[in-house]
Amino acid sequence: MKMKISESTNTSVLKPVKGTRKWLVRLITEGQGSTGIYTKEALQGSFAEAFPVGTHMYIDHATEIEAYERPEGTLTKLAAVIAETPHWQDAPKPGMYATIEVVDQWAPFIEQVSDIIGVSIHCGATLVQDGDLVTTGEPTLPVIESFIPSPVNSVDFVTVPGAGGRLVEALESFKNRNAIMDGSNKHNSERKRMDTEFKEALEALDTKLSALVEALADKAKKKAKEEEEDKDKKKTKEEEEDKAKKAKEAILALADSDLPEVSRVRVAEAIARGYDAKTIMDRETKLVESIRESLSGGFAPEHVPSGKSADDFEAEFAKLTW
């Protein structure tokens, strides 16, 4: 005879075991459950085969409609899987135990409610013959002979366990993981703080460097301008000194020249007004020579303006200026 069974078991505490997001779970206990009687022989004989490694564990048993429409279960409620072959333990309470691994999404929730929830098996089973039924008051429950393997068997997290199924304890590494995560969060927080401070320090340094570069650039421009001005001043000074030297030389040459007095005065005035001394001297000398050549044979009529005498011409010559 076969029947569908769903049995729950409460959680209890055992020593921690190594693993990641893992819990040690008592899947079912020996004795009476809510839907049958489970003997040690039946549990040791076929339970592990019916609930092998990889068996899914869901949040709550599926409803009748859910089991009909989706007997394989739903991913939205998939919370864990059996991570090792179930085995018999006498303590702390006789039953079948296994390590399970909880998925990240449900891990915080399972840890938070682990003390107030249980686990419940969901599978098919064969029963012993009627003559072997065990009566324990009202009502009489069937004795489970064996558990039937099926890919849709599950061990689910439930609110009210019925056959001793419980989360035993979060394994040590799971606890350590939380501690590591807390430490990691603190480390990340500290790192973010340091990153922020480092970024602010870099920004402040960048501001100072930008100001320094700008100040140095302005200083360089100012220095270049001053050097250019000094260069211009030096050039101007050199030009003035050269002009003064030439003027001095011209004055000395003028004193020794045979130019008439009026020419000397005119050349000196022109030099004083900034004319080039040599150029003025050359032009004045040529002018005087030209006039002298014209006067060497006396003034020709064509050289004397109409109505003017030679004396008048010389007087006009004296009026010429540079």
pLDDT interval class at 304 (50, 70, 90): very low
Q: Which helix (H) or strand (E) holds 274?
A: none
Is residue 39 within 8 Å of residue 8, measured between CB atoms? Answer: no
Residue 80 in this model has a pLDDT that exceeds 90: yes
Most confident among 14-18, 130-134, 239-243 (mean pLDDT): 239-243
Q: Quick one: pLDDT at residue 72?
A: 75
Q: Tens digits of per-residue pLDDT, 225-260?
A: 888 888 888 888 888 887 777 777 777 776 777 777
Q: How far apart are the first and last CA of the chain?
A: 145
**Mean local confidence (pLDDT), 173-190:** 50
Q: What angle do CA 145, 149, 150 make, to 5 degrees?
A: 135
Give buried/exposed letters for 24-48 (b at 16+ CB in 10 A, else e).
Answer: bbbbbbbebbebbbbbeebbeebbb
**Mean local confidence (pLDDT), 123-129:** 85
Q: Quick one: pLDDT at residue 174?
A: 39
Residue 2 in this model has a pLDDT that exceeds 90: no
Closest CA to 165 of 137, 123, 129: 123
Q: Quick one: pLDDT at residue 300?
A: 45
Q: Is 265 exposed, middle or buried (0-12, 13-18, 19+ CB in 10 A)?
A: middle
Residue 279 in this model has a pLDDT that exceeds 50: yes
Q: Which helix (H) or strand (E) holds 132?
A: none
pLDDT interval class at 305 (50, 70, 90): very low
Q: Quick one: pLDDT at residue 13?
A: 32
Residue 19 in this model has a pLDDT that exceeds 50: no
Q: Tens digits of per-residue pLDDT, 100-118?
A: 999 988 988 888 888 888 8
Closest CA to 81 of 63, 62, 64, 106: 106
Closest CA to 107 of 216, 23, 14: 23
Tokens for 117?
Answer: 């929830």
What dihedral angle (degrees, nearest 10) is formed by the CA atoms of 288, 290, 296, 302?
-120
pTM exceeding the 0.75 threshold for the entire prediction: no
Q: Quick one: pLDDT at residue 176?
A: 42
Residue 82 in this model has a pLDDT that exceeds 60: yes
Q: Tens digits of per-residue pLDDT, 133-181?
A: 554 555 578 888 999 999 989 998 987 655 555 555 545 333 444 444 4
Q: Quick one: pLDDT at residue 33?
A: 81
Q: Quick one: pLDDT at residue 50?
A: 94
Residue 64 in this model has a pLDDT that exceeds 50: yes
Write down the mean pLDDT value for the chain: 75
Is residue 271 within 8 Å of residue 247, measured between CB atoms? Answer: yes
